[in-house]
Structure 1
Amino acid sequence: MHTRRNFLKKSALGASALAFGSSFSELLAATVQDGVRGVVPGVLGGLPRRFIFIRKSNGIRPDEVALPSFNSTQARLDKQKEPFEVDLDRHDLPEWLQALAPYKKNLGILQGLSSKMSENGHWSYSSVLGAFKSGRNSLSGIKRATIDFELAKLFPSPFGHVELSLTGNYSSWRTGIVPGYSAPAPHQRNYCYADPMTAYNELFKAVIDPDAVGSGNAMLRFLQNDEAYKSQVLAGYEKQKLSTHIAALEELQARNKKLSRMSGKIENHMPTIDSIHRDGGPNASTPEKQEAMTDILVAALATGLTNVVTYTIDELSTPIKGLPGNETDHISIHEIGHNGGYSGVSADHIREKIRFGHVHQVKTIADKLKAIPEGKGTMFDNTMIMYFPENGEGHHSKGTEAPFIVLGGDNCAVDLLGRYVRLPYHATEGHKTIGNWYTTLLNAHGNPIEHYGDFDLDMSRKRLHQAGAIKQFLG
């Protein structure tokens, strides 16, 4: 694994390595708008902002995020879900978050958000990033572009948005290019890279195989096959809603031409993929898959191919293989959600070990970005990493709470870092939803939208105010 861990050390990490040609600079500045308060979309101090959304399955139970060093008053408020906040530098982190202790001033723990307006239960599908009810993975239920795509519009890049996913069917991994969970527009589902080798080949094709850029690559085949399928099984309104994928084929070819002009810059940050990941990597362990995807993710940002990445680090069907302490077990996340243990290790302990692995990857992303100079600082200064449960507060979630772990650089536009913040509980005065959180992200980065996402029905019935950003985070 050392070849991947050292790839950034072998790269040209000087500021010149991130100085793109005029075509990319024009693209970056293409969304300057009049009348937008705060910041200019596309360029902030000449540098883009970056966002990484890391989705996990099986929920995050709020008490798993509570700080072990709370005093009696703080512990009581937290247990009773009353609003309060504390500085992280005065407290210890939960054991599974200890890897982020060196980043305390850049860490925000946000408790009390609800997600009842999205799908909960076992899966959220596209809805958790769009703050809407979508039904059982229904295309017709995709109500709007998800928040990751909205942020990508503010900070354009050749790929616009990259989605990665480590999922499967409990016993084997998904591979290739497959339907994703993010959404570029209503009634449209994004595609995603389901294994490190496919992501490597498609994202860095301009360097790996220049002759293939602009021709019939795997992405073109995926979109063409997807369109052919839809033309056979859909009719009327459904078919009309999805016809825009045809235009995506032409956009993809135009993007690939841009990539060929960026090949020199891409080469500077090419990751190295171990041979175990060839042909989809069926024998790779879960930690090996996660490490490879982390390297892909960092390289995609470092090369400027994208400024927004959404990463489903696991879902209930993800095969968990090679977990430290349970190396010989093939663990079902769904089974541990029903308190099933393995090899004498309890479900709670295994859940924690899975989170340990996730947080290790979060820290690795931050460390790698911090090692890349940018402007007067590093790439990490201009990045927000958000780790959160796709389905709320538990295995069978109701969406009353959706904890967010936020790691942001020194130029973070959201005033949350360095604190543990518990907001008022669901359906009480002052409560905030994921829609309020996403509105905050958009407002802080140049989109003045009044409110992003659907309203909470319980809040509406009680006539509680729920529109807009979380003002305390806007500074």
Structure 2
Amino acid sequence: MSIQTSRRTRRTVLRGLGVSLALPWMESLAPRAIAGAATPSAPPRRMAFMFVPNGVHLPDWTPHREGYGFDLPHILSPLASVQDDVMVLSGLTHDKGRANGDGAGDHARSASVFLTGAQPRKTAGENIRSGVSVDQVAAQAAGAATRFASLELGCEAGRSAGNCDSGYSCAYSSNISWSSESTPVGKETNPRLVFERLFGDGTPRKHDKHAAAREEMKKSILDFISDDARKLQNQLGRNDQQKLDEFLYGVREVERRIERSDEDPKISVDVEYPIPKGTPSDYAEHIRLMCDMMVLAFQTDRTRIATCMFADAGSNRSYRHIDVPDGHHDLSHHRGDAAKHAKIREINRFHVAQLAYFLQRLKATPEGNGTLLDHSMICYGSAISDGDRHNNENLPVLLAGHGGGSLDMGRHVRVRSETPMCNLFLSMLDRFGTPVDFVGDSTGRISELQI
């Protein structure tokens, strides 16, 4: 075993049997300052995009007040502890989520258009076509700076082929990340496999071999880098020693939760597909584990770009754990029924509560003179407004994080009607350091984000 420094990210890496554990930035390990040299660069910026299906119940989503100190309606109430880190954006539109002559298939279009702003070709065959998604625009420009150019996660396996929505391929419904017009980037839904990918060393074949060996020995990944960790402690100042202990403890806690998921009986009536080993049967725990993976990936600089689909487009998952046994998609066709509205808003609130968990984790993770949340931009929302109308204007969109101090948060901002959501993406890419002339159907930047 040996302590190394990644040439790509200048992060200290501890290695063991098939383990490559990159550490958070620590002052004790930073290069010594040279007289006359520039001050150390600021922490990198990160972006994450989170998708929820079937729209929301807008009356319980949209704040009544605009600007600072906006009210938190029922759906957004879980954000109370991070309200100053969040911006509610009203008025954004995804025109290419509309039929525009292509007829039915709004759910498939909503996922495909979410990050691309491109009209998907209506086909259930192999000749799929959409556009390059904003996360992949950034990954193609800056992904070489980290071990993984981007990380694509989800909580429903979905399908990659076949007809899933009125003549649209399942590839549209199951993916929000596209590396080219014809290539969706498949998401990983198994937390154990994500964990192994983040901290594994070597080729995928070696990953599997080493993971199997560790599992057979019933040992944690930390057992294999413990010698390196002890040696490193001697090089660290007191604050960084505590930071290392807290980081390793956090990694082990995530690993334990994955192990508990392995032991789950996997009895679930909420989905129609088998739940693989390593995947919790508890939906909230599944989402939170994926959120923890993104936090660890950002903290260790394994990647700076991530996407996560809480569920696939048109998902009809049941939410019995919050006393909503009905299918989500079925409920979204509410036809004005007040009882269905009440159930939909509880599903929406549950999703926002998982977002709040993610933001709180980022905010609780120190980095430099701030936190991971200070240096991140998190876009959360849906490309359908109301699930009954299937409309694509005035989308439910949240932007969280401070983008390295480039965003004026804690506000409800209403942009001009029909403003393309891709204008938000252009603005985010500017702040990420990968500016481009356009994304999808963008027409310009959103000036209201400026501080």
Query: The TM-score by the shorter chain falls in which range?
Result: 0.5 to 0.7
Which residue number corresponds to residue 473 of structure 1?
449
Q: Note if contact 1:163-1:310 (Cα within 8 Å) is conserved in structure 2.
A: yes
Q: Note if contact 1:451-1:469 (Cα within 8 Å) is conserved in structure 2.
A: no
Q: Note if contact 2:60-2:74 (Cα within 8 Å) is conserved in structure 1.
A: no
Task: Check if 1:339 corresponds to 2:312.
Answer: no
Task: Check if 1:350 corresponds to 2:343.
Answer: yes
- Over the aligned positions, Cα root-mean-square deviation in angstroms equals 3.6
TM-superposed CA distance for 1:62, in Å, is 3.6
Q: How much identity, in percent, do the aligned residues show?
A: 21
Residue in structure 2 matching 1:163, options 152, 159, 163? 152
Q: Deviations over 1:416-457 (max 9, x none)?
A: x2211112223xxxxx101211111122333342322126xx
Calculate the TM-score normalised by the size of structure 2: 0.68
Task: Check if 1:424 corresponds to 2:411.
Answer: no
Which residue number corresponds to residue 379 of structure 1?
372
Q: Deviations over 1:178-216 (max 9, x none)?
A: 97430122321102111223322333323xxxxxx3142
Which residue number corresponds to residue 307 of structure 2?
310
Which residue number corresponds to residue 23 of structure 1?
7
Change (3 A) 1:192 1:292: same
TM-superposed CA distance for 1:410, in Å, is 6.9
AA aligned opposite 1:406 = L
Write the distance in 2 (CA, Å) between the matches of 1:23 and 1:333: 47
Residue in structure 2 matching 1:125, options 99, 106, 111? 111
Write the distance in 2 (CA, Å) between the matches of 1:412 and 1:140: 43
Q: Note if contact 2:317-2:327 (Cα within 8 Å) is conserved in structure 1.
A: yes
TM-superposed CA distance for 1:282, in Å, is 7.0
AA aligned opposite 1:296 = M
Which residue number corresponds to residue 435 of structure 1?
422
Secondary structure of 1:96's aligned partner: coil
Write the distance in 2 (CA, Å) between the matches of 1:134 and 1:169: 18
Write the distance in 2 (CA, Å) between the matches of 1:196 and 1:407: 24
AA aligned opposite 1:47 = P
Which residue number corresponds to residue 290 of structure 1?
287
Q: Deviations over 1:128-172 (max 9, x none)?
A: 2011011347765544321012233336321111111112579xx
Q: Deviations over 1:283-336 (max 9, x none)?
A: 71222222222222222222221111111012333633442234xx3x421111
Which residue number corresponds to residue 202 of structure 1?
197
Write the distance in 1 (CA, Å) between the matches of 2:97 and 2:111: 9
AA aligned opposite 1:414 = L
Q: Note if contact 1:413-1:445 (Cα within 8 Å) is conserved in structure 2.
A: no
Write the distance in 2 (CA, Å) between the matches of 1:377 and 1:307: 17
AA aligned opposite 1:161 = S
Q: Note if contact 1:24-1:157 (Cα within 8 Å) is conserved in structure 2.
A: yes
Change (3 A) 1:217 1:337: farther
Q: Deviations over 1:214-270 (max 9, x none)?
A: 142689xxxxxxxxxxxxxxxxxxxxxxxxxxxxxxxxxxxxxxxx9xx97996752
AA aligned opposite 2:47 = F
TM-superposed CA distance for 1:106, in Å, is 1.6
Which residue number corresponds to residue 324 of structure 1?
322
TM-superposed CA distance for 1:102, in Å, is 2.5
Change (3 A) 1:184 1:356: same
AA aligned opposite 1:109 = V
Q: Note if contact 2:317-2:329 (Cα within 8 Å) is conserved in structure 1.
A: no
Write the distance in 2 (CA, Å) between the matches of 1:95 and 1:61: 10
Write the distance in 1 (CA, Å) between the matches of 2:332 and 2:178: 27
Q: Note if contact 1:383-1:412 (Cα within 8 Å) is conserved in structure 2.
A: no
Residue in structure 2 matching 1:105, options 69, 84, 93? 84
Q: Note if contact 1:148-1:308 (Cα within 8 Å) is conserved in structure 2.
A: yes
Task: Check if 1:193 corresponds to 2:172.
Answer: no
TM-superposed CA distance for 1:385, in Å, is 1.7
* Structure 1, unaligned runs of 5 or more: 1-18, 28-42, 71-85, 171-177, 207-212, 220-259, 427-431, 456-466
Secondary structure of 1:424's aligned partner: strand
The count of corresponding residues between Structure 1 and Structure 2 is 349
Residue in structure 1 matching 2:178, options 179, 183, 202? 183
Secondary structure of 2:187's aligned partner: strand
Residue in structure 1 matching 2:61, options 59, 62, 65? 65
Task: Check if 1:87 corresponds to 2:87.
Answer: no
Change (3 A) 1:282 1:370: closer
Task: Check if 1:151 corresponds to 2:138.
Answer: yes
Write the distance in 2 (CA, Å) between the matches of 1:216 and 1:321: 37
Write the distance in 2 (CA, Å) between the matches of 1:298 and 1:150: 21
AA aligned opposite 2:448 = Q
Which residue number corresponds to residue 359 of structure 1?
352
Alignment of 1:407-418 (within 5 A): 407-409=400-402, 411-415=404-408, 417-418=409-410
AA aligned opposite 1:49 = R
Q: Note if contact 2:190-2:278 (Cα within 8 Å) is conserved in structure 1.
A: yes
Write the distance in 2 (CA, Å) between the matches of 1:164 and 1:129: 14
Write the distance in 1 (CA, Å) between the matches of 2:390 and 2:40: 38
Calculate the TM-score normalised by the size of structure 1: 0.64
Write the distance in 1 (CA, Å) between the matches of 2:68 and 2:197: 40
TM-superposed CA distance for 1:47, in Å, is 1.3
Write the distance in 2 (CA, Å) between the matches of 1:196 and 1:60: 27
TM-superposed CA distance for 1:113, in Å, is 0.7
Secondary structure of 1:193's aligned partner: coil
Which residue number corresponds to residue 458 of structure 1?
none
Change (3 A) 1:205 1:410: closer
Write the distance in 2 (CA, Å) between the matches of 1:92 and 1:159: 39
Secondary structure of 1:125's aligned partner: helix
TM-superposed CA distance for 1:340, in Å, is 9.5
Change (3 A) 1:412 1:58: farther
* Structure 2, unaligned runs of 5 or more: 12-38, 99-104, 160-172, 209-224, 230-243, 263-275
